[in-house]
């Protein structure tokens, strides 16, 4: 009898515990739900709503790009529904579909890669939501989007090569180039690579001996540097003054963005190699402040600007397409080149 009483007691305690846990979980769920509802930006449907899908925050350049869009939206009283795709295309597709469900007025996105956008753009078109492509280009039917705003990557590649042709005008050659590229299948890598090859192709002394993908990341730039410089340390610990790849002397490092270049410089520093006056010519693209500082400190030879400030121009285009007006197929940003021959005192702060 005593035994049964004990058993019933135990069952009572367990069921009370189970009930309270269920009640607790229920309230927790309500709390999360209400919090989630609160997170959805309370957008005022009177004002223009822009759905913006950004690829991530892989570089100082990218962060500035995002900031310039938020700043310009605030100045133009445009509300933003923002998504950071963490470098994944499937996240961008999901975000654009959520913008369609949300019935935003305009969609703008930075396509991490060139292909795979036709279906979702067709869905936006079917929902009568105009789309603007930002920063990188896509291979899709042009009727599926209103236009593009960003940089002319081909011209950036040409500028890097024109600097090199001038720098090596008196050298017999061969001039061996080691290229560090960014995200595979992205339009910007293909454009910079083709513009660069177009110009160096005018002189046979220039040879690209290898291209290594650094995914636009500083950490990858460092790894590539470590891979190359590891073979530079002689038995007695001294380092030679020349970098080799597969026993071929490297005369030029052409890096597709500053983050990878700065990662490479990190590696040189770690290998106690002072890039100043080092035999290898280093050319980079983006012109973030830390890279310009490296240039003025003699660690780099040339930095081609890629202007991340798309915000103001994008908001003007957003307003136009929201009114049903057409916009130019392509709108390019203004860009320049910084080299070791400049008067550095004339440089303004880069802001990124
Ligand atoms: O050069 C790099 C970023 O798409 C132009 O992406 C942009 C590039 C830029 O990761 O820093």
pLDDT single digits (tens) 111-156? 999 999 999 999 999 999 999 999 999 999 999 999 999 999 999 9
Q: Give the residue, out of 157, 216, 220, 309, with the most ligand 1 atoms within 8 A of its beta carbon, to mutate for a pocket test.
A: 216
Read off the pLDDT band of 94 (50, 70, 90).
Answer: very high
SS3 342: coil
Task: State the pLDDT confidence band at 180, using cuts at 50, 70 and 90.
Answer: very high
CA-closest residue to ligand 1 atom 2: 257
Instruction: Give the residues surrounding ligand 1 with Cβ less than 6 Å away.
Output: 58-59, 61-62, 135-136, 151, 188, 216, 257, 259, 285-286, 306
Per the listing, tokens 């990878």 go with 260
The whole-number pLDDT of residue 302 equals: 98
CA distance 222 to 268: 9
Question: Tokens in use for 273?
Answer: 């190699």
Give the Å distance between the CA of 62 and the centre of ligand 1.
6
Find where tokens 């930006």 sit: 41
**pLDDT value, residue 299:** 94
Contact 88/53 with Cβ under 8 angstroms?
no
What distance in angstroms lies between residue 217's CA and the mean position of ligand 1's atoms?
10
Among 55, 134, 188, 195, which is best to mutate for testing ligand 1, by the most ligand atoms less than 8 A from CB?
A: 188
- Compute φ and ψ for 136, nearest 5 degrees: -115, 150
Distance 242 CA to ligand 1 centre (A): 29
Task: Look at residue 29 in the predicted model and tell me its pLDDT.
Answer: 63
| Residue among 56, 60, 62 to mutate when testing ligand 1 (max atoms within 8 A of CB) | 62
Counting from 1 in the atom list of ligand 1, the atom nearest the Cα of 58 is 10
The CA 324 to ligand 1 mean position distance, Å, reads: 30
Output the CA 160–ligand 1 centroid distance in Å: 15
Q: In a 3-state reduction of DSSP, which class is residue 133?
A: strand
Which candidate, 256, 253, 351, 261, places its Cα nearest to that of 307? Answer: 351
**Is the N-terminal amide bond of 174 cis, ω within 30° of 0?**
yes
Q: What is the pLDDT of residue 232?
A: 66
Ligand 1 centroid–CA 177 distance in Å is 21
Exposure string of 172-203, with b = 16+ CB inside 10 Å and e = fewer, is: eeebbbbbbbbbeebbbbbbbbebbbebbeee
Q: Which atom of ligand 1 is nearest to the CA of 136?
A: 4
Mean pLDDT across 30-41: 56
CA distances from 46 to 72, 147, 315 (A): 18, 25, 17
* Separation of alpha carbons 217 and 92, rounded Å: 20
**Pick from 199, 182, 201, 197: nearest CA to 285:** 182
CA dist 284 to 73, 261, 296, Å?
A: 30, 6, 14
Q: What is the pLDDT of residue 31?
A: 65
Q: Which atom of ligand 1 is nearest to the CA of 151?
A: 5
- Span from the CA of 52 to the centroid of ligand 1 (angstroms): 17
CA distance 86 to 75: 27
Q: Determine the distance separating the centroid of ligand 1 and the alpha carbon of 257, expressed in angstroms.
A: 7
The lowest-confidence range among 8-17, 126-135, 249-258 is 8-17
pLDDT number for residue 122: 98
pLDDT tens-digit profile of 232-249?
655 555 556 678 898 899
């Amino acid at each position: 009898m005593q035994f049964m009483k004990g058993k019933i007691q135990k069952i009572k305690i367990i069921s009370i515990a189970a009930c309270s846990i269920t009640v607790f979980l229920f309230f927790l769920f309500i709390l999360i739900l209400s919090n989630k509802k609160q997170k959805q930006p309370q957008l005022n449907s009177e004002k223009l709503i822009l759905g913006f899908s950004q690829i991530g925050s892989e570089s100082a350049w990218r962060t500035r790009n995002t900031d310039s869009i938020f700043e310009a939206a605030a100045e133009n009283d445009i509300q933003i529904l923002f998504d950071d795709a963490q470098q994944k295309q499937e996240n961008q597709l999901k975000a654009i579909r959520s913008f369609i469900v949300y019935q935003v007025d305009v969609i703008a996105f930075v396509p991490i890669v060139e292909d795979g956008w036709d279906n979702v753009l067709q869905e936006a078109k079917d929902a009568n939501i105009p789309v603007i492509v930002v920063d990188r280009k896509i291979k899709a039917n042009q009727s599926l989007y209103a236009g593009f705003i960003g940089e002319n990557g081909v011209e950036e590649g040409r500028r890097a090569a024109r600097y090199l042709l001038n720098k090596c005008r008196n050298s017999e050659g061969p001039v061996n180039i080691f290229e560090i590229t960014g995200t595979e299948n992205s339009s910007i890598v293909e454009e910079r690579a083709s513009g660069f090859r177009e110009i160096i192709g005018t002189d046979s002394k220039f040879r690209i001996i290898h291209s290594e993908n650094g995914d636009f990341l500083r950490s990858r730039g460092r790894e590539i540097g470590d891979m190359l410089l590891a073979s530079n340390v002689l038995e007695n610990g001294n380092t030679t003054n020349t970098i080799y790849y597969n026993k071929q002397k490297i005369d030029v490092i052409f890096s597709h963005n500053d983050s990878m270049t700065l990662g490479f410089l990190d590696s040189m520093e770690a290998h106690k190699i002072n890039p100043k006056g080092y035999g290898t010519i280093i050319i980079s693209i983006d012109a973030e402040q830390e890279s310009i500082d490296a240039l003025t400190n003699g660690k780099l030879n040339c930095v081609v600007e890629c202007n991340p400030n798309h915000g103001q121009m994008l908001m003007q285009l957003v307003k136009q397409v929201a009114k049903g007006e057409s916009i130019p197929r392509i709108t390019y940003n203004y860009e320049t080149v910084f080299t070791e021959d400049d008067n550095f005192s004339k440089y303004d702060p880069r802001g990124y």
